[in-house]
Structure 1
């Protein structure tokens, strides 16, 4: 079974967000050889871009907080409270460093079990089409979606396929769904439901 994922799967697992356990369970299935994780190459870089932007925002917030703390330090009333507030401010920077480390570790684990879809000219051509109506995807999503559709069109080995992501705002469109359906690829917008779907599909395969 081919399990297609994108950047939000990587971040969900790396940053231990709400559905990270299902992401970890999916990786474990792939480690056992019962399924194959498939990831567009574009999604290896995109999570780092997300963290870079998040780190920049946190640094700017810390800078603003430090200015306010310096103002408050002039008032004796707040002097005893400022040390703990500055510790909270420092957490913003520390958390960014820890998140980058977790992302590195997560990618090392994912890369051991996944197939990476390399970007080729035909994918970029498809992505250009998916930027237009009726798809109207932004450039990042267009490249991700084009990578998956391209892989589906050339991959004949896997009889069962699914695309699991949390981007229902952009991908939950009839025309996008129709193309995946034409390749017998189910799309799900929840990693917990995705993992349960994989388990149920595997159970049916075993029973048959």
Structure 2
């Protein structure tokens, strides 16, 4: 069984979002060798961009907040208010470090067990075709083309899955139909996929 994932699988765990525990369960199945985890190469790059963008946004906010606090310190009447807000800048710095540490840890765990799907000329051409057909952005087109290429060439016994929480980009019925023709089911949430894995396989 191959379970294909993409960047939001990584980000759920890194950012501790609402589906993080289910994503971690899926990773545990891979660590125990009960499933083969596959992830497109581009899906390993995107989380770094996301984490760095969040850090830059927080830095801008922290700079603005510190400037406002400095202004407020000029007024004795605002002393208590200033003290109640002074925890925020160090907290923002700590969050930056925590997210970077979480990303490093998650990437190491994933790379220890996952098959990384690379790009070649066939995947590139297929991504271009899928982008026109389904209206994908370039990243999602490469993700989908990489998954399809792996399903086409991999001889591992099924069932196989592609799981993402990105309903907006992967919710087109034609996408599920394309995958189904290759013996792969689309799952649009990590809890749903984790539940599937927890069920015993039929005899």
- TM-score, structure 2 length as denominator? 0.95
The aligned residue for residue 171 of structure 1 is 170
Structure 2 counterparts to residues 17-36 of structure 1, below 5 A? 17-36=17-36
The aligned residue for residue 158 of structure 1 is 157
Alignment size in residue pairs: 203
- How far apart in 1 are the matches of 2:107 and 2:73? 43
4+ residue stretches of structure 1 with deviation over 4 A? none
The gaps in structure 2 that reach 5 residues or longer are: none
- TM-score, structure 1 length as denominator? 0.92
How far has the Cα of 1:102 moved from its partner?
0.8
- How far apart in 1 are the matches of 2:128 and 2:71? 51
The gaps in structure 1 that reach 5 residues or longer are: none
Q: Deviations over 1:82-123 (max 9, x none)?
A: 234122122122201110111101111111111110121211
- Given that residues 2 and 156 in structure 2 are in contact (C-alpha distance below 8 angstroms), is that contact kept between their aligned partners in structure 1? no
- How far apart in 1 are the matches of 2:130 and 2:84? 50
The aligned residue for residue 204 of structure 1 is 201
How far has the Cα of 1:16 moved from its partner?
2.3
- How far apart in 2 are the matches of 1:130 and 1:78? 58
Q: Tell me the secondary structure at the aligned position of residue 87 of structure 2.
A: helix
Q: Deviations over 1:127-161 (max 9, x none)?
A: 111221x3000011111111111111111223210
1:103 aligns with 2:103: yes
- How far apart in 2 are the matches of 1:158 and 1:52? 38
The aligned residue for residue 6 of structure 1 is 6
- How far apart in 1 are the matches of 2:77 and 2:144? 56
The aligned residue for residue 77 of structure 2 is 77
